[in-house]
């Protein structure tokens, strides 16, 4: 044992002191539920559609139930004005003015369930409207944790089976007339009781900045077990973050250990936890990173994009490093750059995953991670360097406004859809690329990941001597008939609501005739990255959006 590891002999065991990797939770402001009417007879209950995956179809069955069983209750079915993740004061004001209560739904994904919960709490606490949120049973833990973070731990919530999407009217009627899978009580009974009985009152949520700095001293074996049981790892072996190891990491930045680097949360409305420089160092040690990698890892911690997002769509982050630091720390941008075999790429990517899950307060399957399929890319978070030396174009960070001699990390989010090809054929290469583009998901724009061989082919075949020319061509080529485009479920969930609210360029697409070709992607979100070692002209196209760019030099 070294001098900074506390040694204590108790019954022949050597005890080790290590640092706690968990970030600091946000402060929670306690909120008060609205006063309830004794009954709903003669009153108007608003049924608010979250505009996600056939939510309105379930609410239609709730409305029909009231018509059959409580005709004295007036109902008004409305849809939120835009995307479910946006606040909707106009609708809330209407409900406050004209309604006695509200039912919001349906929360049936890892992002819409927290959003619906948050909207319900807003109606309760800010507008004084008794509200019940309607969700599917897969998201009961997500809903409860969100309500706790929102300051109303026992905000009324009722659950029906998953899924809602694609179910027939008869099947959804059976949901409404059936029992809550979580509580076993009749769904409509719970909805009515939620609107007419005050929620259980508990003490305020007990979140404060109380995360301990150190873990209770124990043996190495027990500490490894503790870290695994607390879900602080990716289940694979780690390096224990002793005080000496953390100090070595901290020596590679000029920033104070208690400086707040950034904030992370699993999804919107779950509460953003704080990460200090020292907390980032703890997670970097756990991942096996060398101290010289630390400025890159700090920059990732500052990006605000969690590599452990809770989305049920199983998205993954991708981190691309540019500038001199690539060579300083030995990152790989050539053969195998996006795979294993390079310590810097792998350890930095793993550290990004650790600081995300621990910095946001956890990433636990079924609670704060709801990726339905999961994503194998998440093990290393697709961390690599761009091959600037072999690229025929300016590197990504320069394209986005940074200087060539600056070191920058660019963080993308999505990485759910991938297609690949081998070079560009002389005759039909345009059609082949078009087919690849239309095969991607329509809500995350394409990023071309080009081996240098293929990058030069795009110049030889198409004359794209700048990235801008290639990106413009990709935008103009990726087109789809408007009717088919608007019928995509992801477009219905995430783009159509914003288009109807007037957001451009999406709103203009709504004016197109059903058979008129319209662009699939916003040109601002299309990117091109050169990576690979010219073993062959293979290349990939990945659906993922650039979310953040952070200077690494700022964290040296």
The pLDDT of residue 8 is 47
Section 414-425 average pLDDT: 93
Q: Tens digits of per-residue pLDDT, 76-108?
A: 999 998 888 899 999 999 999 999 999 999 999
pLDDT in tens, 132-151: 999 999 999 999 989 998 99
Beta strand 408-422 with 316-322: parallel, antiparallel or unpaired?
antiparallel
Q: What is the full DSSP assignment across 450-506?
A: E-HHHHHHHHHHH---SHHHHHHHHHHH-EEEHHHHHTSHHHHHHTHHHHHTT-TTH
Whole-model pTM: value is: 0.91
Q: Tell me 394's DSSP state.
A: -
Please give the Cα distance from 287 to 547 (Å, whole number): 24
332 vs 508 pLDDT, higher one: 332
Burial 494-517 (b: 16+ CB within 10 A, else e): bbbbbbbeeeeebeebeeeeeeee
- Looking at the predicted structure, is the pLDDT value of residue 374 above 70? yes
Whether 541 has a pLDDT exceeding 80, the answer reads yes
Looking at the predicted structure, is the pLDDT value of residue 2 above 50?
Answer: no
For the record, the structure tokens of 290 come out as 């060398």
pLDDT at position 458: 97
Top-confidence residue, 269 or 62: 62
Strands across the sheet containing 131-136: 74-79, 44-49, 101-107, 131-136, 157-160
Predicted confidence band at 467 (pLDDT cuts at 50, 70, 90)? very high
Largest CA distance in the chain: 80
pLDDT band at 4 (very low <50, low <70, confident <90, very high): very low
- pLDDT at 471 exceeding the cut of 60: yes
Look up residue 389 and give its two tokens: 């030396």
Q: Within its chain, how far is the Cα of 83 from the centroid? A: 16
State mean pLDDT over 248-274.
94
Token reading at 137: 């049973």
DSSP conformation class of 544 = E
What pLDDT band is residue 409 in, cutting at 50, 70 and 90?
very high
List Cβ neighbours of 112 (8 Å cut-off, separation of 6 or more).
Answer: 50, 52, 84, 85, 106
Predicted local confidence at residue 210, as pLDDT: 74
Candidates 165, 185, 188; CA nearest to 62 is: 188
CA distances from 428 to 440, 528, 535 (A): 19, 21, 24
| CB contact at 8 A, 442 and 347 | no
Burial 291-319 (b: 16+ CB within 10 A, else e): bebbbbbbbbbbbebbbbbbbbbbbbbbb
Eight-class DSSP state of 335: T
Average pLDDT, the chain: 93
| Three-state SS at 529 | strand
Q: How far are the Cα atoms of 197, 495, 503, 506, 518 from residue 500, in angstroms, in the given order?
A: 36, 9, 7, 8, 16
Among 10-19, 145-154, 189-198, 476-485, the minimum mean pLDDT is found in 10-19
> pLDDT (tens digit, 9 = 90+) per residue, 393-408?
999 999 999 999 999 9
At 71 the three-state DSSP class reads coil
pLDDT the model gives residue 498: 85
How many C-beta atoms surround the C-beta of residue 548 within 10 A? 18
Residue whose entry in the numeric block shows the structure tokens 């179910």? 167
Contact 512, 480 (CB under 8 A): no
Q: Are the C-beta atoms of residues 69 and 188 closer than 8 Å to each other? A: yes
What's the start-to-end Cα distance of the chain, in Å? 30
Contact 545, 525 (CB under 8 A): yes
pLDDT value for 209: 55
What is the residue-wise DSSP string for 354-383?
HHHHHHTT---BTTTB--SS--GGGGTTTE
The owner of tokens 């082949």 is 432
Which helix (H) or strand (E) element contains residue 327? helix 325-328
Would you say residue 203 has pLDDT above 60?
A: no
Q: Does residue 7 carry a pLDDT above 50?
A: no
* Residue (of 145, 158, 218, 162) closest to 188 by Cα position: 158
Q: Report helix, strand or coil for 344.
A: helix
CATH number of 44-196: 3.40.50.10350
Q: What percent of the chain has pLDDT over 90?
A: 83
CB 124 within 8 A of CB 147: no
Instruction: Give domain limits for the chain.
Output: 44-196, 220-478+520-555, 481-518
Check: CB of residue 539 under 8 Å from CB of residue 498. Answer: no
Rounded distance, CA 329 to CA 263, Å? Answer: 26
**Other beta carbons less than 10 A from residue 328's beta carbon:** 14
> For the residues of 98-153, what is the DSSP string, one character each?
H-SEEEEEEE-STTHHHHHHHHHHHHHHTT---EEEEEEGGGHHHHHHHHHHTT-T
Q: pLDDT tens digits for 263-320? A: 999 888 888 999 999 999 999 999 999 999 999 999 999 999 999 998 888 999 999 9
């Amino acid at each position: 044992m070294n001098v900074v590891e506390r040694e204590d002999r108790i019954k022949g065991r050597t005890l080790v002191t290590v640092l706690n990797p968990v970030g600091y939770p946000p402060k929670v402001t306690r909120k008060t539920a609205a006063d309830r009417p004794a009954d709903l007879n003669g009153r108007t209950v608003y049924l608010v559609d979250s505009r996600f995956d056939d939510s309105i179809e379930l609410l239609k069955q709730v409305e029909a139930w009231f018509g059959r069983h409580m005709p004295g209750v007036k109902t008004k079915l409305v849809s939120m004005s835009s995307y479910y993740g946006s606040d909707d004061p106009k609708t809330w004001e209407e409900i406050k003015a004209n309604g006695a209560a509200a039912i919001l739904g349906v929360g049936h994904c890892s992002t819409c369930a927290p959003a619906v919960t948050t909207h319900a709490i807003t109606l309760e606490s800010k507008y004084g409207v008794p509200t019940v949120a309607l969700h599917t049973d897969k998201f009961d833990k997500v809903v409860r944790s969100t309500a706790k973070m929102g300051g109303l731990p026992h905000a009324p919530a009722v659950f029906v089976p998953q899924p809602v999407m694609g179910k027939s009217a008869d099947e959804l009627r059976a949901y409404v007339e059936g029992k809550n899978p979580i509580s076993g009580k009749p769904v409509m009974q719970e909805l009515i009781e939620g609107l007419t009985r005050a929620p259980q009152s508990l003490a305020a949520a007990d979140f404060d900045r109380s995360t301990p700095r150190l873990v209770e001293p124990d043996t190495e074996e027990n500490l490894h077990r503790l870290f695994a049981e607390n879900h602080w790892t990716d289940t694979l072996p780690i390096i224990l973050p002793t005080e000496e190891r953390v100090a070595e990491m901290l020596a590679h930045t000029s920033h104070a250990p208690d400086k707040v680097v950034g904030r992370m949360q699993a999804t919107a409305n779950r509460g953003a936890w704080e990460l200090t420089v020292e907390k980032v160092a703890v997670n970097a040690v756990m991942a096996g990173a060398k101290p010289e990698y630390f400025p890159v890892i700090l920059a990732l911690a500052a990006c605000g994009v969690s590599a452990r997002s809770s989305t049920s769509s199983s998205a993954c982050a991708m981190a691309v490093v540019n500038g001199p630091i690539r060579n300083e720390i030995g990152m790989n941008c050539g053969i195998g750059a996006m795979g294993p075999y390079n310590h810097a790429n792998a350890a930095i990517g793993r550290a990004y995953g650790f600081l995300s899950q621990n910095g946001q307060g956890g990433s636990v399957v079924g609670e704060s991670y709801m990726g339905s399929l999961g994503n194998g890319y998440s093990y290393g978070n697709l961390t690599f360097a761009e091959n600037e030396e072999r690229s025929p174009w300016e590197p990504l960070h320069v394209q986005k406004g940074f200087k060539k001699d600056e070191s920058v990390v660019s963080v993308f989010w999505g990485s759910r859809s991938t297609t690949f090809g081998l070079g560009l054929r002389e005759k039909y290469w345009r059609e082949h690329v078009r087919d690849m583009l239309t095969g991607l998901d329509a809500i995350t724009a394409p990023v071309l990941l080009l081996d240098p061989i293929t990058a030069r082919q795009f110049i030889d075949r198409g004359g794209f001597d700048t990235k801008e020319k290639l990106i413009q061509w990709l935008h103009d080529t990726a087109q789809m008939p408007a009717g088919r485009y608007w019928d995509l479920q992801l477009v219905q969930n995430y783009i159509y609501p914003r288009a109807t609210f007037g957001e451009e360029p999406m709103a203009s697409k709504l004016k197109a005739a059903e058979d008129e070709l319209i662009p699939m992607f916003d040109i601002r979100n299309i990117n091109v990255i050169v990576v690979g070692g010219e073993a062959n002209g293979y290349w990939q196209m990945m659906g993922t959006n650039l979310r953040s760019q952070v200077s690494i030099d700022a964290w040296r």
